[in-house]
Copies of this chain bind each other. A is one copy, B any other.
Amino acid sequence: MPSIDVCFSPTLLPLYALEGKIAVAVDVLRATSSMVTALANGVEHIAPVSELEACWAFKEQGYLVAAERDGIKADGFDLGNSPFHYLEEDVKGKRLAITTTNGTQAIRLSRSADEVIVGAMVNVGAVAEYLKKAGKDVVVVCAGWKGVFNLEDTLFAGALAERLQDSFELNHDATLAAYHLYQTAKADLLGFLSKSSHVQRLERLHILPDIEFCLEEDKYDVVPVLQGDFLVKAE
């Protein structure tokens, strides 16, 4: 039976062997939620980029450019990190380059895996189905917050573990922790997260609607998969 493991932050990723496995990069608040939303709303492909300058350079090629640092849209960029930016009709058919504080790093650092896909609460069911079909070992790569553990990405890992429990081994300590935290939290994810300093920080930015959007499970039946340098919809 394949196994599912969870890496709580990119800092720990060098301790995980990704070869032969599928990496699921996740940054629930809000990078990967926005990426899933963008592809679900007709964005053609997404270039996840680490640096602001590299992201900006895509503008010349006709890309929409999106950038977030410390929770806020970076100056001059077309879009930020809110999933609501990717619901508009005018993203349809566009190509998107995006850089965020944590999420795009998690994707980049996962590249030694056989395959990198992108997960969020909004597509957790689609990710689970994709992984069941693939039948390979899985590592959930949490973006965390500036290198350390965060709760919301862990809850995604727990939600995914719950959906995979009949066909995957759940015996890694981090997976068990994520699974049990999700059991505690799932009846009221927002209430559970409301004591967290990270969510309190985001609430001070007045993005409660974003948070509620990002915590809704199974809004989209889309799995972004990394092909070369671009995220595209898996078929």
What is A's interface to B at a CB cutoff of 8 Å?
7-9, 11-12, 15-16, 145-151, 154, 170-174, 176-177, 180-181, 183-185, 195-198, 200
- Provided the pairs A171-B197, A173-B150 are in contact, do residues A8 and B11 lie with their beta carbons within 8 angstroms? no
A8 and B149 contacting across the interface, CB-CB below 8 Å: yes
B173 lies within 8 A of A184 (CB): no
User: This chain: how many copies in the complex?
Assistant: 2
Chain B hits for A12, CB < 8 A: 9, 11-12, 147-149
Q: A8's contact among B8, B176, B184, by CB below 8 Å, is which?
A: B8
User: Is the pair A149, B171 in contact by a Cβ cutoff of 8 Å?
Assistant: no
Complex Cα distance, B15 from A173, in Å, reads: 22
Contact A173 B146 (CB under 8 A): no
- Cβ contacts A to B, 8 pairs, < 8 Å: A11-B15, A12-B149, A15-B147, A148-B173, A149-B177, A150-B173, A151-B173, A173-B197
